[in-house]
Each structure stands twice: as C-alpha cells, then as structure tokens.
Chains A and B, each alone.
Chain A
Amino acid sequence: MIRSAVVILAALFAAALIVAFLDLPPAEIDLPAAVTANMAISGVDHPVTAVLLNFRGYDTLLEIGVLLLALIVVLAVAPREEVAAPLVASAADPVLQTLARIAVPLMLLAAVYLLWAGAHQTGGAFQAGAVLAAAAVLLHLAGLLPGWSAPGLSLRGGLAAGFLVFLAVAAALLTEGALLQYPPAWAGALILLVEATLAVSLGLILAGLFLFLS
C-alpha cells in the first residue's frame, strides 16, 4: 500500500522533472565559443583542463578544499585503535601479491602519463590522482601496504600540499585583478605545478579514505 503510493509519487516526480527539462529555455551564453576563443591565453591545449584550472580555477580550488575537509572528518570519526592490526601479508594470496607488484609500477606510469596528457587531451590531475589511489588500495588489499593508523608529518604535508600550493598560487596572483587569473606567459607552468601537486594530494586523500578506515 505504502509502497505503491511511493512508486506513484516517484513516477510523478520523474515525469515533472522530464517536463521541466524539456521546458528549459536554450542557454543564453554560448560558453563553448567563449572557451574556444580564449584557448590561446589559457596555457593549455585541452578545453576541459583550461576550464577546470584556468577559467573556473576557483571551482577546482574549492573542490580540493572540500575533499581535504572530508578526509579530515574521516580522520576525526575513524576508530583510533592503539593495537595496529597485523598485516595480513602472510595469509595473502601470492598470485595477488605478484600481480600487485607488477601492476603498481605500471599504474604509477599511467598516472604520470594522465597528468602530462591533461595539457592537450583527455586526462588531468583528478584522473591521475584516482589511479594513484587505486594503486595504493591494490597494494593494501594484496597485503603489501599496511593501513594508515595515524598520519605522520610527511603524510599530513602530502595530504594538504595540493590545496596549499593551489591557495598559494591563487594568493600570489591576487594582484592580477581577478581570482586565479594567470598571466598568459606563466599559465602553462603554473597549471602544471598546481596539477602535479593536486594529483599527489588527491591520490593520498582518496587512498586515505580507504586506508585510514581499514
């Protein structure tokens, strides 16, 4: 009875959403054209990277801030067990361990490639960071990397580096007039610097969501 009522309500809501979507007016600003027109001063060749790190750089800045905040919350609520869980290396599958040992260097290579490729084609810091994190998770599942019980100083530094470097770049560029408005001559190098630290920090943060809890 309640279930059918919920289904009907959900169907009505879905229908309303579809009607609202079909009723949307066409966009008044032609954003793709604006991006294409400004690609020359963006410092990179790939429109998605140009939008993420240059034209809408503050969105990405806030995004990494939110991710860092999420990890801090996880650290705050994660159970703090003094007795470190014994590493399951001895019981772990030797085939899985061998596979992990072979795969992880390749994953690191893929991450660096994705980071570098972000400047002119599909790729970028977020994808590279996700691959780094996946490599760490794989190592952990294979029993080769112990879970992180508490972050040391260098790990804390690594987690915060992406946000801090991005923030420092933003602060240094405040004199340009607008937030994160790169001088065209420096844009490429600054974006590469920000992206590289972002990739490392994102990898650590995403891996931390896994490794701090295990």
Chain B
Amino acid sequence: MNVDLAFDLLLAAALLWSAWRTLATPDIFRAVILFIVFGLLLTLAWARLAAPDIALAEAAIGAGLTGALLLDAIGVLRGRKKP
C-alpha cells in the first residue's frame, strides 16, 4: 500500500474519531480541546487536498480563534458558578 493512501486513511479515521469524541465526551473542557484537535486535523486534510488557502483559514479561524473563544466561554461559565 502506498504511503500517501495510508496517511489519508489515517487522517480520515482520526477526523471521524475526534469528531465523535468531541460530541460524546461529557467533560466540556475536554470537548473544546478535542474540537481544536479536530480543527487542526481538518487543516491537514485541506492541505492534503491541495487547498492551502483554506487550510490557512481553517487553522487560524476554525482551530485558533474559535478554540480560544470556546475556552473563554468555559472560563466565564466556571467563574459564574463559583460565587
């Protein structure tokens, strides 16, 4: 089997697995981390599809900014629960 195909299959499996774990995990914090991991894997997928422009946008907006926004939301939620 050639290496490219093996890598693509691995990438697709990892994407599906991380997407499933993101939705299924009960811990919100872990879900956000998995979402960021999913975004980074998706970046790799776009790069493999020879779409570097979309890969850049996905890395910056999908994984980076959205991840930071979700983490911030968790921080606010936990801050509200405490007092």
Contact = CB atoms under 8 A, between A and B. Distances in A.
Interface stretch (A54-62, A121-129, A169-177): A121-129
Given A130-B61, A130-B64, A134-B64, A210 B69 contact: yes
B61 A122 contact: no
A131 B72 contact: no
A57 to B, nearest CB: 16
Nearest to A214: B72
Contacts of B53: 48, 122-124, 127
B72 A210 contact: yes
Interface string A139-169: 0010000000000000000000000000000
Nearest to B62: A130
Contacts of B72: 141, 210, 213-214
Interface in A169-214: 206, 209-210, 213-214
Nearest to A114: B56
A210 B69 CA distance: 6
Contacts of A141: 68, 72
A176 B68 CA distance: 43
A209 B57 contact: no
B65 A130 contact: yes
Interface string A51-95: 000000000000000000000000000000000000000000000
B57 A126 contact: yes
Interface of A: 48, 114, 122-124, 126-127, 130-131, 133-134, 137, 141, 206, 209-210, 213-214
B33 interface: no
Contact of A206 (B52, B56, B61, B76): B61
Interface in B51-83: 52-53, 56-57, 60-61, 64-65, 68-69, 72, 76
Contacts of B76: 214
21 contacts: A48-B53, A122-B52, A122-B53, A123-B53, A124-B53, A126-B57, A126-B61, A127-B56, A127-B60, A130-B57, A130-B64, A134-B60, A134-B68, A137-B65, A141-B72, A206-B65, A209-B69, A210-B65, A210-B69, A213-B72, A214-B76
Contacts of B68: 134, 137, 141, 210
